[in-house]
């Protein structure tokens, strides 16, 4: 006879961010009765946290067959989840391979490499949203490939969403040694916006204008998102073009808090991991507070167990995708 730890969570339909239910046995001698409780912190997509008990219970003999069945069911669900994950990864890889390698050249001959996803069945007679993705420092270069080495943002152009919201997605590549915004990433609690944009950011803004002339893009549904260095770039764009974007999703980035009033009206959902060792979480907490003081209503999700690389979890969030495509630029 063994001890079983049974841990399953469902509360008000809010999902637990974790690995699902856990079931295992620990052998104990004799017929001792033992129970223990430990509070477990949960984070939900509703940005609320709950504490639920973790209980050790001694099963009855008659429960052993039931527990065995539950264990088999859990294995089956885990296998199904793994198969789904593999299918999604294949779809993301396929989308990435179908993006177009392009180059924007300004009047002075300065170049910006970028990848472009054109929605399937593109019809110039219709208006389409556009998503701008700014990559992190590790994807800088001149190969016009690495900026989508982390492909998770492509969730937003998967068939799952494209059936209702077919969208363009553009991913420029910042050159090695350059930044989307020329600031010290480790400056606390915030930085000051440089008077002029960095060259990659200037070229990115010009690229957006050029794409609007080339394709049928809805000017009221242009979205910007970025991770790490790209999170800083996302905030920088909101300062430089506060009336341009319909919504923004900065991930583990940082902002100039003193400029919060300039873009407090823009729908924004900010994400950060509490255990981030690369970009301190105070950078997101600080701008959230500044936006609220400026009259904004930012959404903020902080993962208690999250480090720096939270973007896979963020871009796979279905609630975030629904929220994003609901946003339309205010007049």
Q: 47 and 103 share a domain?
A: no
Kindly tell me if the per-residue pLDDT of 140 is higher than 80: yes
Q: 168 and 219 share a domain?
A: yes
Using alpha carbons, select from 58, 155, 77, 167 the residue that is nearest to residue 119.
167
**Looking at the domain assignment, is residue 248 inside a domain?**
yes
CATH number for the domain harbouring residue 179? 3.40.50.1820
Share of the chain above pLDDT 70, in %: 76
pLDDT, averaged across the chain: 83
**Looking at the domain assignment, is residue 36 inside a domain?**
yes
Instruction: Say which range, 56-65, 196-205, 242-251, 299-308, has the weakest mean pLDDT.
Output: 56-65
Using the CB atoms, write b or e for 73-85: b if 16+ within 10 Å. Answer: eeeeeeeeeeeee
Are 270 and 288 in contact, with CB atoms under 8 Å apart?
Answer: yes
- pLDDT 10s digits, 110-120: 999 999 999 99
State residue 290's pLDDT score: 98
Distance set, CA 75 to CA 24, 66, 230, 246, 325 (Å): 12, 14, 38, 43, 35
- Classified as helix, coil or strand, 137 is helix
State residue 186's pLDDT score: 77
Q: 80 and 105 share a domain?
A: no
Q: What is the rounded (10 degree) CA torsion for 266, 271, 277, 280?
A: 40
Q: 294 and 161 share a domain?
A: yes
Q: How far apart are CA 202 and CA 225, in angstroms?
A: 17
**Looking at the domain assignment, is residue 90 inside a domain?**
no
Q: 69 and 103 share a domain?
A: no
Cβ atoms within 10 Å of 285's Cβ, excluding its own: 16
- pLDDT 10s digits, 218-233: 999 999 999 999 999 9
Q: 175 and 290 share a domain?
A: yes
Q: What is the rounded (10 degree) CA torsion for 20, 320, 114, 159?
A: 80
Structure confidence at residue 136 as a pLDDT band (50, 70, 90): very high
Domain span at residue 114 reads 99-326
Higher pLDDT, 305 or 71: 305
Instruction: Kindly state the average pLDDT of the residues 209-225.
Output: 98
Using alpha carbons, select from 44, 41, 38 the residue that is nearest to residue 14.
44
| The total number of structural domains that make up the chain | 2
Q: 198 and 74 share a domain?
A: no
Q: 169 and 226 share a domain?
A: yes
N- to C-terminal Cα separation, the chain: 68
């Amino acid at each position: 006879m063994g001890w079983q730890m049974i841990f399953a969570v469902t509360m008000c339909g809010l999902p637990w961010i974790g690995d699902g239910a856990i079931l295992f046995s620990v052998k104990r001698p004799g017929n001792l009765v033992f129970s223990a409780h430990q509070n477990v912190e949960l984070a939900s997509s509703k940005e609320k946290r709950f504490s639920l008990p973790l209980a050790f219970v001694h099963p009855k003999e008659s429960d052993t067959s039931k527990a065995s069945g539950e264990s088999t069911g859990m294995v089956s669900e885990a296998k199904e989840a793994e198969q789904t994950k593999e299918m999604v990864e294949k779809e993301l890889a396929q989308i990435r391979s179908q993006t177009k390698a392009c180059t924007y050249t300004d009047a002075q001959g300065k170049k910006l490499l970028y990848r472009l996803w054109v929605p399937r069945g593109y019809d110039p007679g219709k208006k389409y949203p556009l998503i701008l993705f700014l990559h992190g420092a590790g994807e800088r270069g001149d190969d016009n490939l690495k900026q989508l080495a982390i492909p998770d943002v492509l969730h937003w152009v998967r068939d799952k969403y494209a059936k209702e919201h077919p969208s363009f997605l553009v991913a420029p590549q910042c050159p090695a040694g350059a930044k989307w915004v020329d600031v010290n990433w480790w400056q606390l609690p915030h930085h000051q916006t440089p008077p002029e944009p960095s060259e990659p950011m200037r070229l990115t803004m010009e690229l957006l204008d050029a794409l609007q002339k080339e394709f049928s893009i809805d000017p009221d549904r242009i979205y910007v998102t970025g991770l790490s260095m790209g999170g800083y770039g996302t905030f920088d764009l909101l300062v430089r073009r506060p009336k341009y974007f319909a919504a923004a999703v900065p991930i583990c980035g940082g902002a100039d808090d003193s400029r919060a009033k300039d873009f407090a009206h823009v729908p924004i959902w900010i994400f950060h991991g509490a255990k981030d060792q690369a970009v301190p979480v105070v950078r997101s907490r600080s701008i959230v507070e500044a936006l609220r003081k400026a009259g904004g209503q930012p959404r903020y999700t902080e993962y208690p167990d999250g480090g720096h690389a939270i973007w896979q979890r963020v871009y796979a969030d279905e609630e975030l995708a629904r929220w994003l495509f609901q946003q339309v630029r205010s007049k």
